[in-house]
Chain A
Amino acid sequence: ILNVEQSPQSLHVQEGDSTNFTCSFPSSNFYALHWYRWETAKSPEALFVMTLNGDEKKKGRISATLNTKEGYSYLYIKGSQPEDSATYLCAFSSRAQKLVFGQGTRLTINP
Chain B
Amino acid sequence: EVVMTQSPATLSVSPGERATLSCRASQSVNNRVAWYQQKPGQSPRLVIYGASTRATGVPARFSGSVSGTEFTLTISSLQSEDFAVYYCQQYSDWPPNTFGQGTKLEIK
Tell me whether A and B are bound partners. no
Which residues of B line the A interface, CB within 8 A? Answer: none
Which residues of A line the B interface, CB within 8 A? Answer: none
